Amino acid sequence: MCEYEFSETAYTKIIFHAAKYPHQAVNGLLLAEKKTKGSIVQITDAIPLFHQCLGVTPMAEIALMQIDAYAESAGLVIAGYYAAPENFYDNQIEKAPAAKIADKIQENFKNACFAIVDNKLVSLEHKRAALQVYSYSSDSNRWSKAKYSLVNTSQTLEGVSLLLKRGAMRDVIDFDNHLDNPENDWTNQFLNQSLKDLQKLY
């Protein structure tokens, strides 16, 4: 079974997306290096999708095609799906919104993961990683809990806490924002660069 390693950038963007819309469910895609590091899938980036209509819709299909092309151009692959449920306590995979997107990704990338944001752990004092991560078991034909880690765990959690206190989650742009205004960059290049600059300080 695969293990997953989340980069600082990927983890921070997932948490920012959930924190920007605390009263709504959100979802997004996870990008990874095409080659695994042994049995470890390296999740390098997260692409926020929606905070309004999360289902498998024509807009979701368009988003998936554009993100797939973007990933291909960057030498990456769509390797997972993340979701933050609307209800504070709905952190089980069975209650995750638009789970069919995760199934679709797994059909194309057998080592895909499904990450659920644990809303109870998303706070300004970010002490523990607020994710539950699953991989697909072909034996049982269902998503099962998987091991995962964060790159530079303590620094990543400390950085997320600092940035949440500054309100930096307002900077994250999802595909809904892009549909509202095409000038909004769903790849979040500005935020990605800001996070890289911050990482140099640690």
Over its C-alpha atoms, the chain yields an Rg (Å, rounded) of 15
What's the pLDDT score for residue 202?
A: 57
Find how far residue 130's CA is from the centre of its chain.
Answer: 11
Q: b/e string for 148-162 if b means 16 or more Cβ within 10 A?
A: bebbeeeebbebbbe
> Which helix (DSSP H) or strand (DSSP E) does residue 60 occupy?
helix 58-73
CA distances (Å), 48 to each of 14, 36, 155, 188, in order?
7, 23, 23, 9
Find how far residue 188's CA is from the centre of its chain.
Answer: 13
What's the pLDDT score for residue 65?
A: 93
By the 10 Å C-beta count (0-12 exposed, 13-18 middle, 19+ buried), 24 is classed as middle
Strands (E), 7-154: 26-33, 40-50, 76-84, 113-117, 131-137, 142-145, 148-150
Return the biggest CA–CA distance within the chain. 45
What's the pLDDT score for residue 56?
A: 60
What's the pLDDT score for residue 199?
A: 64
What's the pLDDT score for residue 201?
A: 57
What's the pLDDT score for residue 87?
A: 77
Residuewise pLDDT in 10s, the chain (202 residues): 789 999 999 999 999 999 999 989 999 999 999 877 778 999 999 999 989 876 667 888 889 999 999 999 999 999 999 999 887 777 777 777 778 889 999 999 999 999 999 988 888 888 899 999 999 988 888 899 999 999 988 888 988 998 899 999 999 999 999 989 999 999 998 888 887 777 665 5
Instruction: Kindly report the number of other CB atoms within 10 A of residue 77's CB atom.
Output: 21
What's the pLDDT score for residue 140?
A: 82
In this structure, are residues 27 and 54 in contact, taking their beta carbons and an 8 Å threshold? yes
Tokens for 64, please give them.
Answer: 């998936």
